[in-house]
Amino acid sequence: MAIATQPFGRTGHDSTRVIFGAAALGRSNPEEAAETLQLLLRYGINHIDTAASYGRSERLVGGWMPEHRDRFFLATKTGERTYEAARAQIRHSLERLQTDHLDHIQLHNLVDPAEWATAMGPGGALDAAIEAREEGLVRFIGVTGHGVTVPAMHLRSLERFPFDSVLLPYNYTMMANPAYAAGFDELARVCAARQVALQTIKGITLGPWGEKEHTHTTWYEPLNRREDIALAVNWVLGRAGTFLNTVGDVSLLPAVFEAAANPGPRPPDAAMESLVRDRGMAPLFV
């Protein structure tokens, strides 16, 4: 069963509501990448989101492009803050992804005020992204971020430049923080009014690893039971207009895709509170 699509902001592309977060391929090999591609094709995933900093990800995704480029809205990110460095990184990404253009370039994790001022100012990374768009190397430009201040920073970014998308954390425990929830809701309101795509990450987070053994390739501990993942996925996708960028561990992708392909109603607060209590869930950012 294919996963539903919806307009990706004002880009004109209908993206699957679940976007493949190719950070999951950061430590993978070609065999795992081939298996992952088959999974994407099986569920009709048509949007890939990677980054220059995701280990082997761009090269492995690039291996798919000679045959499958037309199937995917292809996005990557630059974490550079200056024009020259971002310009070089965008072109390196094009080479590694084996494509002559990107559908989407994003300024990666732009939340630190000093870095923001550099990237968004004269001679900053935004200038490189705009130049790449003018040259036909990219089609759209977005901004991403982590942490509790990201809704406010994204609102600030949208006042400076008409980005086509934003990306930030969204899950039940993060939204239990009243300040974060208020900021997210205001950002979502602005995005809806301006037709800016609203991408969400960390949807199936259990919490920080702490002293636990790391049993997955994610830098946080994810939910790993199918029934728990289904609750979390249905909760995220139960909010109209959101996209869910998938978890950074290939072993968890089947459960995420299965839940999204067979959606149920949004779980009520009582069900989510029970999940938080039973699994000991905690916010990743405080």
The residue ranges of every structural domain in the chain are 5-279
Q: In a 10 Å sphere around its CB, with 0-12 CB exposed, 13-18 middle and 19+ buried, how is residue 31 labelled?
A: exposed
Given a cut of 90, is residue 188 above it in pLDDT? Answer: yes
Q: Are 60 and 23 in contact (CB under 8 A)?
A: no
The model's pLDDT over 125-152, given as tens digits with 9 standing for 90+, comes to: 999 999 999 999 999 999 999 999 999 9
The model's pLDDT over 9-64, given as tens digits with 9 standing for 90+, comes to: 999 999 999 999 999 999 999 999 999 999 999 999 999 999 999 999 999 999 99
What mean pLDDT is predicted for residues 212-218?
92
Distance of CA 251 to the CA centre of its chain: 18
Say what the pLDDT of residue 43 is: 97
pTM for the model stands at 0.97
DSSP assigned state of 124: B
What mean pLDDT is predicted for residues 216-230?
96
Say what the pLDDT of residue 98 is: 98
Instruction: Provide, for the chain, the percentages of residues in helix, strand and coil under a 3-state DSSP scheme, each rounded to the nearest 5.
Output: 45, 20, 35
Say what the pLDDT of residue 106 is: 99
**pLDDT band at 111; cut points 50, 70, 90:** very high
Average pLDDT, the chain: 97
Given a cut of 80, is residue 1 above it in pLDDT? Answer: no
Say what the pLDDT of residue 221 is: 96
Say what the pLDDT of residue 17 is: 98
**pLDDT band at 2; cut points 50, 70, 90:** confident
Q: By three-state DSSP, how is residue 76 classified?
A: strand
Q: What is the CATH number of domain 5-279?
A: 3.20.20.100
Distance CA 241, CA 194 (A): 12
Count of CB atoms situated within 10 Å of the CB of 134: 9
The model's pLDDT over 251-276, given as tens digits with 9 standing for 90+, comes to: 999 999 999 999 999 999 999 999 99
